[in-house]
């Protein structure tokens, strides 16, 4: 992906060359798009800001993290990502690139971004986020609405929009119930963008302060 006109730098050229543990540790060096919902307090029933801070300040992979990575729905999501991107390509009628790098925002030092997919359009680069929706997760979606996705995934997609300067993004969802594929087009919300920048910066400053003196970390 050509990032010459984007506010991004390459943090890791190819995350596919990393083991799962190496990748998880690399994610300690910033707040990724999937972290946005946590530091915005949109997932407090599952993970709090304090949980996120402790995780980012732990220089090793915990048993809890390993257990999450081994969950069936998480494994299915990884395995089905190529199929979901293929279905999105077919429905949108445009090729979708799969970047393998991890990026960091030039201006917002805390912000790291991986992309499931990026679509080249006349309006610029558009992020495509893939989700496999379990039967339990189905209730958080409303396919009758253009933006009928959970708020925590809106936040994730918006952090990707920041990196690409994108006016909108797509969430491509494959539902386990009925094996239904659905595309949600999410319009850029400047209020949410501002919240991500402000709260992300605050959270990263707390993380940096806590990490001082902990072996294995370098503060940016």
How confident is the model at residue 186, as a pLDDT?
A: 98
Structural domain containing residue 92: 8-211
Percent of the chain residues topping a pLDDT of 70: 93
Q: How many domains does the chain have?
A: 1
The answer as to whether 217 is a domain residue is: no
Q: Provide φ and ψ at 142, rounded to 5°.
A: -135, 100
The answer as to whether 219 is a domain residue is: no
Residue 102 sits in a domain of what CATH number? 3.90.320.10
Cα→Cα distances 70→58, 108, 187, Å:
20, 32, 33
The answer as to whether 147 is a domain residue is: yes
How confident is the model at residue 160, as a pLDDT?
A: 98
Q: How crowded is residue 51: how many other Cβ atoms within 10 Å of its Cβ?
A: 14
Q: How far is the C-alpha of 25 from the C-alpha of 220, rounded, in Å? A: 15
Per-residue tokens: 197: 């920048």
For 24, the enclosing helix (H) or strand (E) is helix 20-26
Q: With a cut of 70, which residues of the chain have pLDDT below it?
A: 67-74, 77, 213, 215-220
Q: What is the per-residue pLDDT across 110-121, written as a single tens digit (0 to 9) for each?
A: 999 999 999 999
The answer as to whether 125 is a domain residue is: yes
Are 56 and 19 contacting, i.e. CB atoms less than 8 angstroms apart? no
Q: How far is the C-alpha of 135 from the C-alpha of 132, rounded, in Å? A: 10
């Amino acid at each position: 992906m050509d990032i010459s006109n984007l506010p991004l730098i390459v943090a890791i050229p190819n995350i596919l060359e990393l083991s799962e543990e190496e990748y998880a540790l690399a994610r300690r060096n910033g707040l990724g798009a999937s972290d946005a919902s946590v530091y915005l307090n949109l997932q407090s029933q599952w993970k709090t800001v304090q949980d996120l801070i402790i995780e980012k300040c732990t220089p090793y992979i915990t048993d809890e993290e390993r257990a999450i990575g081994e969950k069936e729905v998480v494994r299915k999501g990884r395995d089905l990502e190529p199929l979901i991107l293929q279905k999105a390509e077919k429905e949108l009628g445009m090729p979708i690139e799969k970047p393998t790098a991890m990026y960091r925002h030039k201006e917002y030092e805390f912000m790291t971004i991986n992309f499931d997919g990026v679509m080249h359009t006349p309006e610029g680069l558009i992020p495509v986020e893939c989700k496999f929706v379990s039967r339990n997760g189905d209730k958080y979606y409303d396919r009758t609405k253009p933006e009928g996705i959970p708020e925590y995934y809106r936040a994730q997609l918006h952090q990707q929009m920041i990196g690409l300067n994108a006016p909108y993004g797509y969430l491509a969802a494959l539902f386990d119930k009925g094996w239904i594929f659905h595309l949600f087009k999410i319009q850029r919300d400047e209020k949410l963008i501002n919240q991500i920048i402000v709260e992300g910066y605050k959270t990263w400053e707390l993380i940096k302060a806590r990490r001082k003196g902990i072996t294995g970390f370098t503060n940016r």
